[in-house]
């Protein structure tokens, strides 16, 4: 597949943006500057970026508790994300959602979700709305290997396949459902095998190779957009940090982590770009420095932003049903 240079460089920029955002978030969390827990996407950048590069601006995604990467991959802005992590009024959700619930409807980001598997029915419902509205959109539902054991997974894919909904179910298999390795909660090696039960294609790709992910996603998105129904796309990937920041990681050994880190998707992609003479090392450095400044500016924006006033606690929460009825 021939991929335009512009697309390749956009993918590289978004992978670097995710990595630098997450590294900064890790640093800030260690300094007790961020409230709550954070679950980082470091190591998994190729998965979200490769998939989202196959989407149009008005397509939808849903994500997970480890959602920072997916949000940035779909075009989310770091300064509003960082403000949300800080709990500031200028954040995407006005400081109420925090790390696990970032959303931006204008960019088609229907939200990350702290409940395992909860994005599946939301995404499937969005796909149904597309079909009913007869629009040309597609939904991508990101979830993890642990979520593939939830009832919402099976119910959603059953409905999606039955009604041939325009959706791609993307399982980002980072080898662990929280602290449990896949081999201890599933007999199958490839989660994509579960597609067979619902009569849809199941595809497994190297989730550490952004080009492999992109090529598989292009096919799956094309199938969905043409009205041929869902695909279950599994990206085999790995999180370099723990399940959450502060996780002692007693459930996996250092040799395993080091082996996966040698497959780091960003240096791998850099090598591909350089070998094909699409960029120079100096140009890559310029991109990296520009994005680092962007992340530094995002932190400054978040730290200088105010916290919500007390009365914000009950805003955007309740709806006046009577008034809503009048509007209809």
Q: What distance in Å separates the CA atoms of residue 78 and residue 187, rounded to the nearest whole number?
A: 39
Give me the pLDDT at residue 328, please: 45
Banded pLDDT at 97 (limits 50, 70, 90): very high
As a whole-number percent, the residues of the chain with pLDDT over 90 amount to: 94
Give me the pLDDT at residue 321, please: 56
Give me the pLDDT at residue 243, please: 96
Average the pLDDT over each of 2-11, 207-216, 275-284, 310-319 and give the range with the smallest value: 310-319
Q: What is the dihedral of CA 122, 242, 291, 287, to 10 degrees?
A: -110
pLDDT digits over 19-36, tens only? 999 999 999 999 999 999
Q: Pairing state of beta strands 60-62 and 231-236? A: unpaired
pLDDT of residue 187 exceeding 70? yes
Give me the pLDDT at residue 181, please: 93
Q: Phi and psi at residue 104, in whole multiples of 5°?
A: -150, 90
Give me the pLDDT at residue 174, please: 97
Average pLDDT, the chain: 95
Q: What would the mean pLDDT of 184-193 be, rounded to a whole number? A: 95
Banded pLDDT at 318 (limits 50, 70, 90): confident
CATH number of the domain encompassing residue 92 = 3.40.50.970
pLDDT of residue 322 exceeding 90? no
Give me the pLDDT at residue 1, please: 84
Q: What would the mean pLDDT of 127-142 be, rounded to a whole number? A: 98
Give me the pLDDT at residue 317, please: 76
Give me the pLDDT at residue 314, please: 84
pLDDT of residue 136 exceeding 90? yes
Banded pLDDT at 326 (limits 50, 70, 90): very low
pLDDT digits over 41-70, tens only? 999 999 999 999 999 999 999 999 999 999
Q: What would the mean pLDDT of 266-285 be, rounded to a whole number? A: 97
Q: Domain of residue 292: give its range.
A: 5-327
As a whole-number percent, the residues of the chain with pLDDT over 70 amount to: 97
pTM above 0.85, yes or no: yes
Give me the pLDDT at residue 320, please: 63
pLDDT of residue 327 exceeding 60? no
* Count: domains in the chain: 1
Q: What would the mean pLDDT of 267-272 be, rounded to a whole number? A: 98
Q: Pairing state of beta strands 176-177 and 180-181? A: antiparallel
pLDDT of residue 152 exceeding 90? yes
């Amino acid at each position: 597949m021939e991929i335009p240079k512009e697309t390749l460089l956009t993918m590289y920029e978004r992978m670097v943006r995710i990595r630098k955002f997450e590294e900064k978030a890790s640093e800030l969390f260690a300094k007790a500057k961020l409230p709550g827990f954070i679950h980082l996407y470091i190591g998994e950048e190729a998965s979200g970026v490769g998939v989202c590069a196959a989407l149009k601006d008005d397509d939808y995604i849903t994500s997970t508790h480890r959602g920072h990467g997916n949000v940035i991959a779909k075009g989310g802005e770091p300064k509003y994300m960082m403000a949300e992590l800080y709990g500031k009024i200028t954040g995407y959700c006005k400081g109420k959602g925090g790390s696990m619930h970032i959303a931006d409807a204008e960019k088609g980001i229907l939200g990350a979700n702290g409940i395992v598997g909860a994005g599946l029915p939301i995404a499937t419902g969005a796909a149904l709305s597309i079909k009913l509205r007869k629009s040309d959109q597609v939904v991508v539902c990101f979830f993890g290997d642990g979520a593939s054991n939830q009832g919402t997974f099976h119910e959603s894919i059953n409905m999606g396949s039955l009604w041939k909904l325009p959706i791609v179910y993307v399982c980002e298999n980072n080898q662990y459902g929280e602290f449990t390795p896949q081999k201890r909660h599933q007999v199958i090696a490839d989660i994509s095998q579960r597609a067979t039960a619902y009569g849809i294609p199941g595809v497994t790709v190297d989730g550490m190779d952004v080009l492999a992910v992109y090529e598989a996603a292009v096919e799956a998105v094309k199938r969905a957009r043409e009205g041929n129904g869902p695909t279950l796309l599994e990206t085999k990937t790995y999180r370099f940090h723990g399940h959450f920041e502060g996780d002692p990681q007693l459930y996996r050994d250092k040799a395993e982590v080091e082996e996966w880190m040698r497959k780091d998707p960003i240096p791998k992609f850099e090598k591909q770009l350089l070998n094909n003479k699409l960029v120079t090392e100096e140009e890559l450095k310029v991109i990296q420095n520009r994005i680092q400044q962007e992340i530094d500016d995002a932190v400054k924006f978040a730290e200088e932003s105010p916290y919500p006033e007390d009365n914000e606690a009950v805003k955007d929460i309740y709806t006046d049903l009577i008034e809503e009825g009048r509007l209809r």
